[in-house]
Structure 1
Amino acid sequence: MTEQARLSALDALRGLAIFAMVLVNNPGSWQAIYAPLKHAQWHGITPTDVIFPAFIFVMGITIAIHLPRELAVSASKVALLARATKRALTLILLGWLLFLFWVNTGDPAFNWLDDRLLSLRFGGVLPRLGMVYWLTVVIVLMVSWRWLGVTAIMLLGVYWGAMALIPYTDSSGQRYQGLWEFGNSLAAFIDHHVLGAGHVYYANASPFAFDPEGLLSTLPAVVSCLTGVWVGRYVLVLHGCPNKLMSLALAGICGGFALATVTPLNKALWSPTFVMVTSGILTVMFWLAVLYERKRGQVRPGHPLLVAGTNSIAFFMLSGVLARLLLMIRVDDVSLKSQFYHALEPLLWSPQAASLAFALVFTVVCYYPVKLMYNNNFFWRV
């Protein structure tokens, strides 16, 4: 398979992930989400829960392709680390910028300085991508390819051991250990005391406020990325045996579900079983994309998945800005988003269908500026 075909398969998979993320993140109403687009309430897994790991997994494959090239050109690990640091900081700052781009125009008492800037949420999708990217590059530069899989398993073991064995206490002195509950885990305890209750997504969780893209749970997210690195190198560089790859993927899926009785599947805590199952699923998806390329040729230029995948960060940022504008702009004290959603309700058979229709229209509207960028050969590289 040609290098161009390899990259088009990867871009197409990334495009599928960004389409799914924009669709899931923008329902017409959070009270009427179309059922297949819901996350698991807490423990468990749905197809929607695989979307974010897909981004991280694909990022790992990209690292496997590009990092050796960059190292061959620069011949300096220090230079590569500096470049990786710049990219990571850019992703983090873009995530914070999206958070700050918000004014509650429906609340006269809203104070942007107090309610946004001084309450900055440190976590989020882009900050996690930045941290995971940086840590993965550091590991790949420090560890030989032969030991990459072992390193990933060790990191997952360290995370599980910390979550299961390290005790912690709440403000009243009550001691806990080994919990994977909403607001009550070692990961939540660390977020609460290091990030602060005013800087996380679940600020009102009890006994500990926490973030689904928090500090400790970044560690297993790095393992998801390292899995992508290993799979990318095995498939695209070493041309490894597909039967062996599929056996490992199926073993991860089955093993993850089997161990879920001991350590639950949980996206917010990025549990080891969640890593196993999602990595297995994404390995199968990636191999199917590569197989399609080998049988049918590369994804044709201009294909929507290719368009979205080659400008995925621009797609994400555009969707985030537009979503906020639709909420901030109000007519007769009703946001544009609510007006559009309620205009769709009488035309469809249920609130959930109207919510899905809004999400589909929103995704298409965000796609066309990205399509224009693609047609003009403008690709925003972070």
Structure 2
Amino acid sequence: MEVQPRQRVAAIDMLRGLAVIGMILVAYAGDWDHRFRVLTHADWQGFALADMIFPSFLFCVGAAMPHSLLKRAGDRPGAEVLAYLARRSAALFLLGLALNLLPSFDFAHVRLMGILQRIGICYLAAGALAMALGRRTADGFQLPLRSVLLAAAAVAAAYGALLLAWDAPGCGRACFDSVHSLPAVIDRAALGINHLWPYGLTNGQVTYEPEGLLSTVGALVNVLAGLAGGLVLHRGGDAWRPLALAAVVLLAAGFALNPLLPVVKKIWTPSFALLSSGFSLLALVLLRRATSGASIVLAFGANATLAFVAISLLDCVLQLPLNAGQSWHDSLAHGLGGLIADARVASVTYSAGLVVVMGTLLLALYRKKLFLRL
């Protein structure tokens, strides 16, 4: 934990904070059988509001780069910056893996990938691309916006071409289902069934990893879109109008690609990457003047990694048995169910309680300007 003196971009922290709060409301339900539809992900093809949470976090990873990484690139040798990128990426990956091991430390069945792992990989890839595309000048490190946009387009096009070219045995060319799609096949072969997300099921069998290897290429598009948006903001001036226009273009492109490349979050198709990037960018624009409840949201956004770790650890504790084999989670959720007639309201009340607990901790740290940095 360190005091963070660097000036922050409030809209980016707001978007990141809302993404973390949204993650808690979606991923830590009181009753999984009774939830409001808005808090559920799309089953496979298509999209829901809940599907926009993780992409927005990835977008913020890229959007923050001009205010952190590029300044470092202007002051220090390239090799040192790449080493810094590698250290942060490895720390995020290993932290995510450690959280996946809790509480049983079952190495034979541990999920190898996850949210922090994907963030770490994308951060390293986007940072290395930025270093390769930019150059150091007398005025500091310069990264052309056009180069970032071309890189994002090239990544999306290459990933889309792979998906379309894949001729899946038993399914045919350009197969996008949860068994035969190229990302699902690669993850089963490279990671092994025992190391995939245990809830990535097709007909009761584990078949896919939503934060898999190849689909991380699609997620890189979101980080690069965020980087491009961050560069526009970093230049100053009236940046919001062109950013709003870019958001509309990205949203339209995502929808337009859907007949050719279906929108599927769980394999992060290019259409999903573009659509979700447009959503994140539009949300960023809308948040530029947001003030209501800003402190608590900013507290989540400024300490997002700590929030993710803390909620993971708290949930791990809540899953421990309390009495008669019932966990703390089940006991609390059952108690709320007895007090609140609508099971969906009871379920989201449990999630909201976790947000309040996390928010109280994070707000205290935010006011003291203490932030976790890996």
Fold shared, TM-score > 0.5 on shorter chain = yes
Aligned to 1:323: 315
Does the aligned pair in 2 maintain the 1:184–1:208 contact within 8 Å? no
What number of residue pairs does the alignment pair up? Answer: 358
- Alpha-carbon shift at residue 46 of structure 1 (Å): 1.0
Aligned to 1:232: 230
Calculate the aligned-residue CA RMSD, in Å: 2.2
Q: Secondary structure at the match of 2:14?
A: helix
Change (3 A) 1:19 1:301: closer
- Alpha-carbon shift at residue 330 of structure 1 (Å): 2.5
Aligned to 2:140: none
Q: Secondary structure at the match of 1:119?
A: coil
The 5-angstrom pairing of residues 4-23 of structure 1 reads 7-23=9-25
The one-character-per-residue Cα deviations of 1:153-200 (angstroms, maximum 9, x if unpaired) are: 11101101101102244xxxx463211112220011110111111111
Per the normalisation by structure 2, the TM-score is: 0.90
The one-character-per-residue Cα deviations of 1:281-322 (angstroms, maximum 9, x if unpaired) are: 1111112223x17xxxxx699810111111111111110111
- Cα distance in structure 2, aligned partners of 1:183 and 1:23: 29
- Cα distance in structure 1, aligned partners of 2:347 and 2:82: 44
- Are residues 1:265 and 2:266 paired? no
Change (3 A) 1:369 1:272: same
Does the aligned pair in 2 maintain the 1:188–1:208 contact within 8 Å? no
- Alpha-carbon shift at residue 238 of structure 1 (Å): 5.2
Does the aligned pair in 2 maintain the 1:14–1:55 contact within 8 Å? yes
Which stretches in structure 2 are left out of the alignment for 5+ residues? 135-143
Change (3 A) 1:255 1:215: same
Aligned to 1:62: 64
Aligned to 1:108: none
- Alpha-carbon shift at residue 6 of structure 1 (Å): 5.4
Aligned to 2:165: 165
The one-character-per-residue Cα deviations of 1:332-364 (angstroms, maximum 9, x if unpaired) are: 211111111111112222211111111111221
Does the aligned pair in 1 maintain the 2:19–2:57 contact within 8 Å? yes
The 5-angstrom pairing of residues 1-382 of structure 1 reads 7-74=9-76, 76-103=77-104, 112=105, 116-144=106-134, 145=144, 146-169=146-169, 174=170, 176-201=172-197, 202=199, 205=202, 209-237=207-235, 239=237, 241-290=239-288, 292=289, 303-382=295-374
- Alpha-carbon shift at residue 277 of structure 1 (Å): 1.1
Amino acid at match of 2:148: L
- Alpha-carbon shift at residue 204 of structure 1 (Å): 5.1
Q: Secondary structure at the match of 1:92?
A: helix
Q: Secondary structure at the match of 1:330?
A: strand
Q: Which moved more, 1:248-257 or 1:209-218?
A: 248-257
- Cα distance in structure 2, aligned partners of 1:230 and 1:302: 25
- Alpha-carbon shift at residue 86 of structure 1 (Å): 0.6
Change (3 A) 1:242 1:370: closer
- Cα distance in structure 2, aligned partners of 1:284 and 1:266: 20
Does the aligned pair in 2 maintain the 1:315–1:370 contact within 8 Å? yes
Q: Secondary structure at the match of 1:148?
A: helix
- Cα distance in structure 1, aligned partners of 2:40 and 2:249: 26
- Cα distance in structure 2, aligned partners of 1:312 and 1:67: 18
- Cα distance in structure 2, aligned partners of 1:84 and 1:4: 19
- Cα distance in structure 2, aligned partners of 1:323 and 1:6: 30
